[in-house]
């Protein structure tokens, strides 16, 4: 990362120009933003991280080196960490919260929806590098309150995997099964459209 750019970020932080910083943060890919954060001191690191929107911050947190991740998990509010964890797949979420102290981990998990709490507690029974620890519990499960844009972002973050089906299993905020949605359908709707408007009672016909 260019040192002049890093100096600019530090200057904007010092001057409190959050609006300008947010515009810059929106343009930087998550992996590059992680490299910026890794070169900042603790105070600037946390100040900048707080300015990143939740969806992008969830991508960024997976790109951080261990030392920077440790700082973020120690210094960031549990409420914010909980919101980030909620955006992650269950296996990634388990890896993140496993790095926290027992007290903070419990506080973060307590703020999650019931289905996420159940999944995380199940995964945390396994060491991170075992097959059980690597297996995502939800198998492409999404919520009725999600938007098409949020779901597409999560699918891209997950990447291709032959073990996952072509269907998304949809639940409400309490984890109750609502139906299913063929992944192909996401291509045909506005990014802002809510999944509740698209979900079909299970079983569903794939394209």
Report how far residue 137's alpha carbon sits from residue 115's, in angstroms, rounded to the nearest whole number.
10
Report how far residue 121's alpha carbon sits from residue 195's, in angstroms, rounded to the nearest whole number.
26
Axis crossing angle, helix 54-61 with helix 30-38, rounded to the nearest 10 = 70
Going by their DSSP bridges, the two strands 141-143 and 167-171 should be labelled as parallel
Which residues lie below 8 Å from residue 9, measured CB to CB, with a gap of 6+? 21, 24, 36, 40, 44, 48
Higher pLDDT, 207 or 82: 82
- pLDDT for the residue numbered 4: 82
Residue 27 CB burial class (10 angstroms; 0-12, 13-18, ≥19): exposed
What domains, with CATH codes, occur in the chain?
A: 1-76 (no CATH), 91-134 (no CATH), 139-207 (3.10.580.10)
- pLDDT for the residue numbered 165: 60
| Residue-averaged pLDDT of the chain | 81
Q: Taking the complete model, does pTM exceed 0.75, yes or no?
A: no
- pLDDT for the residue numbered 91: 76
Report how far residue 171's alpha carbon sits from residue 115's, in angstroms, rounded to the nearest whole number.
9
- Tens digit of each residue's pLDDT (9 = 90 or more) over 88-107: 887 788 888 888 888 898 89
- Tens digit of each residue's pLDDT (9 = 90 or more) over 140-176: 567 787 888 878 877 876 666 655 567 777 877 666 7
Helix (H, G, I), strand (E, B) or coil at 32: helix
């Amino acid at each position: 990362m260019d040192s002049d750019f890093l100096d600019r970020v530090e200057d904007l932080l010092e001057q409190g120009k959050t609006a300008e910083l947010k515009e810059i943060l929106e343009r930087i890919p998550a992996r590059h933003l992680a490299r910026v954060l890794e070169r900042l001191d603790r105070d600037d690191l946390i100040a900048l991280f707080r300015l990143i929107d939740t969806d992008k911050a969830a991508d960024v947190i997976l790109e951080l080196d261990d030392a920077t991740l440790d700082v973020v998990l120690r210094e960031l509010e549990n409420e914010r960490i909980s919101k980030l964890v909620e955006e992650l797949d269950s296996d990634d979420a388990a890896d993140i919260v496993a790095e926290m102290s027992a007290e903070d981990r419990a506080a973060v998990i307590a703020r999650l929806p019931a289905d996420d709490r159940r999944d995380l507690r199940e995964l945390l029974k396994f060491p991170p590098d075992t097959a059980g620890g690597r297996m995502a519990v939800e198998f492409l499960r999404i919520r009725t309150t999600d938007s098409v844009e949020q779901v597409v972002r999560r699918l891209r973050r997950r990447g291709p995997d032959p073990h996952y089906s072509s269907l998304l299993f949809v639940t409400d905020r309490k984890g109750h099964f609502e139906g299913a949605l063929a992944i192909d359908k996401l291509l045909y709707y506005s990014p802002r459209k809510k999944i509740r408007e698209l979900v079909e009672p299970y079983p569903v016909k794939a394209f």
